[in-house]
Amino acid sequence: MTNPQALPRGTQPEGAKSQDEASRQVREMFTRIAPRYDLLNHLLSMQMDRLWRARTSRELRPILWRPDTVVLDLCCGTGDLAFALRHGAKSHIIGADFSHTMLVRAREKAVAANDASPIPFLEADALRLPFPDRSFDLVTSAFGFRNLANYEDGLKEIFRVLKREGTIGILEFAEAPPGILRDAYRFYTRSVLPKIGAWISGDREAYAYLPRSVSRFFRPEEFAAVLERVGYAQVRYHLMTLGSVALHLAVRP
């Protein structure tokens, strides 16, 4: 059993002394790396990020393909999960993020896709969403949730905006179980990835933050327990790529 005191409350970038400071640092960091974000995402994950989002979209298809489903993709960044969810689906999807520069890139991609009804991308903080209670059938987030300054508050805010029987789907990195694979993963994420990230983005701190934030985040079974504690039902998760990524699913009763 994990000691609840030992669990992380929220992300903690180096030197951040309060939740507001942590949020501000995260927003500034993503704003700085936005121009190279997509390139580095695909390069550093060896294109696996596309598969993880596609698998998420497939898992959620029964919800996405209902005609009047309303979806919020939180921490949408440059929009890649929102675009993957949209793929062939009939639902109405909105993307939200608190980094203006990431959203500018998402909007450019939406325009380039020449879609008859482009996905709207709007600026919002995941901890203070500008939506009424029970607005969405599905709330998703890919690789964004881990960066929130308070995880329980984030889950409660998502709970608030979900309709009854609405689904939460969170795709996040996880550390593989102890063993040679985890050692290889740690070597890659701690020694190789920050160097390539720093070299291409020019931002050493941002790509050193990534592995630190992953190893501080919950293990999948811990996160499942937090979802249950906040009040979600039907909590489950699927591991991908040797346990390095987890898709967490649950329902607001």
Ligand X SMILES: C[S@@+](CC[C@H](N)C(=O)[O-])C[C@H]1O[C@@H](n2cnc3c(N)ncnc32)[C@H](O)[C@@H]1O
Return the number of the residue (153 or 222) whose C-beta is nearest ligand X.
Answer: 153
Do β-strands 245-251 and 233-240 pair in parallel, antiparallel, or remain unpaired?
antiparallel
**Greatest Cα-to-Cα distance within the chain, rounded to the nearest angstrom:** 51
- The interface region with ligand X, picked from 59-67, 94-102, 175-183, 192-200 by CB under 6 A, is 94-102
Percentages helix, strand, coil for the chain, rounded to the nearest 5? 50, 20, 30
Binding flags for ligand X, 26-65, as an x/- string (CB under 6 A): xx--x----------x------------------------
Which residue's CB comes closest to ligand X? 77
- Residue 59 CB, nearest distance to ligand X (Å)? 15
- The interface region with ligand X, picked from 13-21, 92-100, 185-193, 241-249 by CB under 6 A, is 92-100
8 Å CB contact between 128 and 60:
no
Length of the chain, in residues: 253
Return the number of the residue (27 or 86) whose C-beta is nearest ligand X.
Answer: 27
Return the number of the residue (63 or 214) whose C-beta is nearest ligand X.
Answer: 214
99 touches ligand X (CB under 6 A): yes
Host H or E run for residue 239 = strand 233-240
- Separation between Cα atoms, residue 241 and residue 251, nearest integer Å: 25
Tokens of 165: 């029987």
Sign of CA dihedral 148, 190, 140, 226: negative
197 touches ligand X (CB under 6 A): no
147 touches ligand X (CB under 6 A): yes
232 touches ligand X (CB under 6 A): no
With H, G, I as helix, E, B as strand and everything else as coil, classify residue 8.
Answer: coil
Q: How many residues bind ligand X (CB under 6 A)?
A: 22
102 touches ligand X (CB under 6 A): yes
Rg (CA), the chain: 17
81 touches ligand X (CB under 6 A): yes
209 touches ligand X (CB under 6 A): no
125 touches ligand X (CB under 6 A): yes
77 touches ligand X (CB under 6 A): yes
127 touches ligand X (CB under 6 A): yes
Three-state SS annotation for 158-207: HHHHEEEEEEEEEEEECCCCCCHHHHHHHHHHHHHHHHHHHHHHCCHHHH
185 touches ligand X (CB under 6 A): no
Binding site for ligand X (CB under 6 A): 23, 26-27, 30, 41, 75-77, 80-81, 97-99, 102, 125-127, 142-144, 147-148
